[in-house]
Chain A
Amino acid sequence: MDAVRLWSLSSQPLKHLIRTTTTRLVIRCCSSTTTATNPGGRAPKAGGRNRRLSTSTSTSDRDAVRAIRLKKVEELRSKGLEPYGYGWERTHSANQLQDIYRHLGNGEESKPDKDGVSIAGRIVARRAFGKLAFLTLRDDSGTIQLYCEKERLAGDQFDQLKSLVDIGDIVGANGSIKRTEKGELSVYVNSFAILTKSLLPLPDKYHGLTDVDKRYRQRYVDMIANPEVADVFRKRAKVVSEIRKTVESFGFIEVETPVLQGAAGGAEARPFVTYHNSLGRDLYLRIATELHLKRMLVGGFEKVYEIGRIFRNEGISTRHNPEFTTIEMYEAYSDYESMMNMTEEIVTRCALAVHGKLTLDYQGVEIHLERPWRRETMHNLVKEATGITFNELGNDLQVAKEVTLKNLGADLDYKHKSSIEACSSVGHLLNEVFEIIVEPKLVQPTFVLDYPIEISPLAKPHRRHVGLTERFELFVCGRELANAFSELTDPMDQRGRLEEQVRQHNEKRAAAISEIGGAEDKREENDESYEVTLDDDFLTALEYGMPPASGMGLGIDRLVMLLTNSASIRDVIAFPVLKIQQ
């Protein structure tokens, strides 16, 4: 076979090259895992902090397995078989077969069609006896058993199956359908082919996957070993597709706005900075899509949305990944009331698409998504939880703080007390109390309405209540899921608020810098050390006139967490950002 010849031909002269370069390359590659294997037989690197003993010891086993399997690769080639095939014609998926033949009785074989059935997938279990072997094959849809009898298979295929097929190999098989006496639906194999020879053993359920770090770094292993992990990503695809379907059915059109921007606006967050060589300038990765989508409203579009990646240069946690996905949508000639309905619509349709029902379990708590959801103002929620009536406190910050601390003092720890002390306005204080006391209690879906103007720089002033804005956030399970407002369209007001934001930021930044005083390591940068600039082009666009509009941003990762009962954002992002491994 030409291919075989080619393979051995090209592999020989380069072997030394691989050996000499691998070490360096492995170090360069930060996403590699603790269990780096290497073709040159290099000793495993000393264990890092995250290494588990079990993984460590299995590394040598792993190398042994790999060597054995490489021999099998050679053996296949020597028999004229290609261990890395070019394709396979499937007639059915495993699930389709399970479905079509669900009435087949035990011990029965189906009348084979002309050519029988053909399937392909990964071998995840095998048992071999003298002249009989059972393999479990898994594909995208599910699993099915391969029932292999020596007499049925041509030539020495049965021996090959026993000696050359390992768990983890990708195999294609043809045959008829039989249900075993024990009731297991099986493909009664006439012929099979190894399509991809796997070189590394799959982790067994009890050891390999307890290593949390490895689960994220080698997501595909996690997905092979735990099919329900792959299912999360299938559900994620369904959620995103359902969101698109929903908003498009309401006439929204998708716009792609830039990730790389001259100024990062639309939210308060530390941006990532990069440098464009040929332009010779710094560019920021977007922290929101808001300001560009609003430009589209100025340009005459009335319903726009974007599902896209947002980047924030902040810490990682169970709820935060440096890059995450949101949908932001804007509708001209509507206000935040109508966005509440839209939010309900989107979330319930997604829940139905994934679960078929609106009552779901999230980490042991039953969540009821049946509409309508509770709508309550922030003031009332705070009053309800603390007894403090903020709209009676007026604008005296000092008095407000005293009242707050008097009412809550006993329940607050030091950290919360100091953050209350640090509030620079009554609006900030109200929000702080809300975040500390109320937020964790908002388990069932709740729209929190009418945020203070001080913390809502892009929201329109409330039409009835001075000092508030027409804004809501949606909370489920104590987590913010969506944020929306009647958009501020007055360019003068907007400029004033953004300038105030920049001023406050610079103040904090200056304070932080003087605090550090250069004594500490320079890399110990404070939260506020980044620069905030005004997006002048956006303000100019507003001066051309933006129609009254409402806008909403919804965190898709968090929605998927809720709908897949996942505790951490890393469970719903296929390849989350992880710390560098030592």
Chain B
Amino acid sequence: MAGEESTPYLDELRHLRSMAKHPSIINLLSSEIFSLEKDQSPPLPPQSSPPRLSQEVMSAAEKAKQTNVTARSCGKKYVASEDEKDPTKYYENRLNYIATLKNPYPHESSVSKSITEYVKEYQGLLKDQQGVHLENVTESLAGMVMKQRSSGPGCFFYDLCGDRARVQIYASASNSDMDKSEFVKIHSNVKRGDIVNVTGFPGKTMSGQISIFARSFVVLAPCLHMMPTVNPKKITEETEEWGPGRPRNPETYSLKDQETRYRQRHLDLRINPDVQRIVVETRSEITFYIRRFLHSRQFREVETPILNTTAGGATARPFMTHHNELDMQLYMRIAPELYLKQLVVGGIERVFEIGKQFRNEGIDLTHNPEFATCEFYQAYADYNHMMELTEEMLSGMVKELTGGYKIMYHSNGLDKDPIEIDFTPPFRRIDMIEELNKIANLAINPEDLFSEEANSDLKVACEKYGIQCPPPETTTRLLDKLVDHFLEEQCVNPTFIINHPEIMSPLAKWHRSRPGLTERFELFASKHELCNGYTELNNPIVQRQRFANQLKDRQSGDDEAMPLDEGFCRALEYGLPPTGGVGIGIDRLCMLLTDSVNIKEVIPFPTMKPQDQPSARPSYKY
């Protein structure tokens, strides 16, 4: 047999099998032999095939699976081997095959346990035992076939996957409730990717592998396409499971192609073992933690509109849409802030919303047009309190999800070593203007930042340090660039940059003791902004002025300056209690905790460019 490297133990087993008489012992030995063989050789073709086929397949295997072994040589009834390279042909063969079935998509399925539960239970029950069968127990499992092999016409093995667990199916004609020819027909046509339902008894092979010994075996949903190949090492190697906070490398995945991974996420999820943990579960753990954290502090979750008549609460270009019946132009929200504060005015003292925001901006490694945030507001609290709350939330979250405060992150790319990011509280605090003046040797006076001189001074400063600021060169934008260059660069471990100038913060309250500044903070980690919070500006007169200043920036060409929201200003006139508020970027958090440098890694279905060609898959004839 191809690639066979016998070991003494394997030989012995083979010898035992040749001597054995009782079918169940033969089965048991077969299963053991094949679980050993699978580590040593590529999947073997069914021995029942005509010799012609076996030879062909074997020679194909020797040629590193390059030749196109097709259905031609394979007879009409059975679909060609897994080595087939032509996806269109493969698909057609599959369609032809399921056309011969009465109901390829049956209604009934029965599951007595998830695969995880099954493995756990019988691993415990059959601890330290080998070659045991619990024939009087009946269990039903369902999942996806990810690997198959056969040891003769009456004996098939499968890896059944689901629920992030894996178990071996051992299907033999002698255990099956089907007659032999039916059995062979069904099993010869099971393909990688098929969803199957198996009922049988639990047991362990001689090598100690937990298995289910099938009495009945039903394909619930056939996979019509060729599943991308899985690097066999990925399966057999007992690699430690990935968990939040640990480094990972998508370059090593079986399915690497980014286009396929993001556009056909279901394939990515099936084939790459980490992806379920990353793209869905870690995100869900993060939002779960945030919800629990805020609920336990009496915050209430509310929903504010996504469709608005103005887009306020942040500075960004919004999406526009149109309501037909009302004949009304609507914007998609860029932040829920203004509505959440109105609810605080209305008497709900602690509110939060976890939801999507939308910004009509370019797509890159850290930006997707829709992204998730959590904003929370607490009446009678100020930014100092909110900073502490943020610190507690994030450090607590990292601790709970990863077991410690330190996470590993490939912030310099996958080709460099990951760096450590330490969430141990308290986080460092940098006073923005003070620090900027010190490091860059500037003399910014926050009180006269609205002046023309201040603007030209900042231009000079940017020029001096070679910092580019694409027009319009408003004071806000220039400052932003300087902060980016000098301060954010320092923020690898989580760091608060605090006390922003008024001109940069139209919704934050002026600082109680430092003129020209606001009571605001931004939290950076790995040089990216994670959170933004402040003592909320609740003076309606001042709020209107701030909006007016923004208008000035709009007029000088900054179309991302904030528009006035009269409805919001009026709400303030009814009285917003002193309030602290924070916004957290959930996608950014997910990226940090899953060691993802690309935001698409953490969004199940990221927005993609339109495809030029319909797709890489075969064209169908309907």
Tell me the A residues contacting B by CB distance below 8 Å. 2-3, 5-7, 10-11, 14, 17-18, 21-22, 25-26, 28-33, 36-37, 39, 66, 70, 82-90, 120, 122, 138-140, 168-170, 172, 195-200, 202, 217-224, 227, 230, 233-234, 236-237, 240-241, 244, 248, 253-260, 262, 270, 272-279, 281, 283, 285, 292, 295-296, 298-302, 304, 308-309, 311, 313-316, 322-323, 325, 332-335, 460, 463, 470, 486, 489-491, 493, 495, 499, 523, 525, 536-537, 540-541, 543-548, 573-577, 579-580
Contact = CB atoms under 8 A, between A and B. Distances in A.
Interface in B203-237: 220-225, 227
B221 A230 contact: no
18 contacts: A3-B511, A83-B539, A86-B382, A140-B348, A170-B576, A198-B574, A199-B540, A217-B567, A218-B567, A230-B347, A253-B281, A254-B287, A256-B604, A277-B317, A285-B332, A298-B266, A323-B306, A460-B105
A325 B358 CA distance: 17
Contacts of A301: 269, 276, 280
Interface of B: 91, 104-111, 114, 142, 144, 161-164, 193-195, 197, 220-225, 227, 263-270, 276, 280-281, 283-284, 287-288, 291, 295, 300-310, 317, 319-328, 330, 332, 339, 342-343, 345-350, 355-356, 358, 360-363, 369-370, 372, 379-382, 385, 502, 509-516, 519, 535, 538-542, 544-545, 547-549, 551, 563-567, 570-571, 573-578, 580, 603-607, 609-610, 614-615, 617, 622
A323 B291 CA distance: 23
B264 A140 contact: no
Contacts of A32: 566-567, 570
A254 B284 contact: yes
Contact of A37 (B109, B193, B573, B575): B573
B610 A279 contact: yes
A2 B515 contact: yes
B355 A545 contact: no
A270 B345 contact: no
A189 B603 CA distance: 53
A323 B307 contact: yes
Contacts of A311: 306-307
A452 B598 CA distance: 46
A464 B5 CA distance: 54
A29 B567 contact: yes
Nearest to B263: A537
Contacts of B349: 139-140
Contact of B310 (A30, A460, A537): A30
Given A140-B349, A302-B114, A579-B326, A278 B362 contact: yes
Contact of A259 (B111, B268, B356, B363): B356
Contacts of A299: 265-270, 276
Contact of A580 (B265, B291, B326, B369): B326
Given A17-B548, A32-B567, A237-B302, A11 B578 contact: no
A499 to B, nearest CB: 8
A545 B355 CA distance: 31
A43 to B, nearest CB: 16
Contacts of B549: 14
Contacts of B110: 333
Nearest to B339: A575
Given A537-B263, A544-B225, A219 B342 contact: yes
A2 B513 contact: yes
A460 B107 contact: yes
Given A39-B541, A285-B321, A541-B264, A278 B361 contact: yes
A302 B162 contact: yes
B362 A547 contact: no
Given A86-B382, A260-B358, A333-B220, 13 more contacts: A21-B564, A86-B509, A220-B346, A221-B574, A256-B372, A260-B370, A272-B321, A278-B360, A313-B324, A315-B325, A489-B220, A543-B225, A547-B142
A122 B107 contact: no
Of residues B107, B162, B301, which shows the largest number of chain A Cβ atoms within 10 Å of its Cβ?
B107
A574 B270 CA distance: 40
Given A18-B545, A299-B269, A548-B221, A279 B607 contact: yes
A543 B303 contact: no
Nearest to B111: A333
A309 B283 CA distance: 18
Nearest to A298: B266
B510 A7 contact: yes
Contacts of A199: 540, 573-575
Contacts of A274: 319-321, 332
A544 B283 CA distance: 25
A415 to B, nearest CB: 19
Chain B CB within 10 Å, residue with most, of A11, A33, A322? A322
Contacts of B516: 6
Contact of A33 (B109, B567, B575): B567
B320 A544 contact: no
Contacts of B302: 233, 236-237, 574
Most buried by A among B350, B510, B580, B606: B510
A196 to B, nearest CB: 4
A32 B568 CA distance: 8
A541 B326 CA distance: 37
A237 to B, nearest CB: 4
A170 B574 CA distance: 10
Nearest to A278: B362
B533 to A, nearest CB: 14
A220 B300 contact: no
B570 A218 contact: yes
Contacts of A230: 346-348
Nearest to B586: A256
Given A6-B515, A300-B269, A292 B540 contact: no
Contact of A547 (B220, B321, B573): B220
A561 to B, nearest CB: 14
B343 A220 contact: yes
Contact of A196 (B332, B578, B609): B578
Contacts of B268: 299
Given A258-B370, A299-B266, A545 B319 contact: no
Contacts of B322: 272-273
A85 B328 CA distance: 39
B11 to A, nearest CB: 38
A168 B574 contact: yes
Contacts of B347: 122, 138-140, 220, 223-224, 227, 230
A273 B309 contact: no
A87 B332 contact: no
A540 B264 contact: yes
Contacts of A579: 326, 328
Contacts of B571: 218, 220
A90 B307 CA distance: 36
Nearest to B281: A253
Contacts of B363: 278-279
B549 to A, nearest CB: 8
A490 B330 CA distance: 39
Given A14-B548, A545-B194, A489 B513 contact: no
Contacts of B380: 87-90, 120, 172, 195
B194 to A, nearest CB: 6
Contacts of B535: 86-87
A523 to B, nearest CB: 7
A543 B332 CA distance: 35
A170 B321 CA distance: 38
